[in-house]
Amino acid sequence: MARQFEFELLHTCKRSGARRGRLHTPHGAIETPIYMPVGTQATVKATSPDELRGVGAQVILANTYHLHLRPGEDLIEEAGGLHQFMNWQGPILTDSGGYQVFSLADLRKVTDEGVAFRSHLDGSRRFLSPESSIGIQQKLGADIVMQFDECAPWPCEREHAERAMRRTLDWYHRCASTTRRVDQALFPIVQGAFFEDLRRECAREMAKLDAPGYGIGGLSVGEPKPVMYEVLASVMRELPPEKPRYLMGVGSPDCLIEGVMRGVDMFDCVLATRVARNGTAFTRSGRLVVKNAAYVRDFTPLDAQCDCYACKNFTRAYIRHLLKAEEILALRLISVHNLRFLLKLMEEIRAALEGDALPEYAERFYARHPRGNW
C-alpha cells in the first residue's frame, strides 16, 4: 500500500501554514489542496464524467449508504466496481455511510455493535456495522475508503459527544481489523463534537495509527462558522503533518479558504450542485440568483472571469429563460459553472500558497465577498 498511497508535502506557505501536496492513488495523483465534487449516487448531479474532467475535477465522492440501498454493492462489483460502473477513471473516495444513517433520527438505533435503521426508500430494516461498511466499500472499489463513525449533532451534551467519540475510535479499530483490499486506503475520522479536549484527544489517538490520511468529521452540522474554525484549528495541531487531512462535508468558497489556511488538504460538499438546482450561481461578486427578474435582458455570462463552458457560450438571460421554462439544461449549465468556480478557486489557492501569498489572496477574495456570505 505504501507505494500506491503516498502523500508528498511539496510546500508549506510561510505566511499562513497552508500546505501544497500531492496524494498518489492507484487511479492517479491528486493535487492538494483540493475540492472534491460529490457523486452520492455514483453520479455528480446533472453532470457527465466528461464535463467533470472539463472543469478540472481530480477526484470524486460516492456514498456507501445510498449505493448499498440502490442499486446494491453486489451489482456494482459485478459491473467492475465504481470506476467502470460510472465511467470515471480518476480517483474515487467513498464515505462510510455513517453520517447518512445518523441523520435518519427516528429511523435508526445506535449500539456499540453498529446502527440498525430503516431504509428511507422502502422502510426495510437494515444494519450497518464497521465490518459491513468496509465490506460494502470493498465491493464498490473506491481508492480511499472512510471508517464507519458516529457523528454527534450540534448542539449536544458532553456525555453524548464523548460516547460518540470513543465509539468512533473503537469502530476504527474494527474497520482496520477487517480483511481489506490492498488497493484501498482507509482513513480514520476525528470526532468529538465541539468540545476541544475531546477533539484533541481523538486526534492524538488517531495520529498514533499511522494511517494514510485523516478525516475530520462532525463539522458544518449547524454550528456558527467561527466555532467550526476554532475546533478545526485545535484538531490540526494534533494530526501528523506528513499525512493528508480531509475536512468532510465542507465546501463553500469561504470555508475552502479558511480550511486551507488552517492546514486542510481535502474538502467535499454538495453545495455547488445543490444551489445550482435552485438557480443560484457562484460568481466573483458573490451568489447570483439567475432566475431573478433583473437578469431577463442581461446578455453577459454568469461570471465574466470564468472559463467554463456555460460562461463561454451562454448568457444570464438565456439561462434565466431555461429556468423559467423548466428546461433541464439550465441546471446542467449552472452545475458545471459552480463546480468550475470552486475548482478554479482551488487552483488559485494552490498557486497563491506556493508563492507564500495566501493571506493576500484571502484579503482580495474577502474584499469582494463578505465572510460567511455563502
Active site residues: 95, 268
Q: How far apart are CA 19 and CA 31, in angstroms?
A: 11
Q: What is the DSSP letter of 293?
A: G
Q: How do the residues of the chain divide into helix, strand and coil, expressed in percent and rounded to 5?
A: 40, 20, 40
For residues 372 and 225, the answer to whether their CB atoms sit within 8 Å is yes
Q: Hey, which residues does 63 pair with through a beta bridge?
A: 95
Q: What is the DSSP letter of 270?
A: S
Q: How far apart are CA 371 and CA 374, in angstroms?
A: 8
- What number of CA atoms fall less than 13 Å from residue 235's CA on the CB side? 31
Amino acid letter, residue 330: A
- With cell 448542539, the residue in question is 155
Q: How many CB atoms lie within 10 A of CB 166?
A: 18
CA nearest neighbour of 131 among 148, 109, 116: 148
Q: How far apart are CA 197 and CA 166, in angstroms?
A: 13
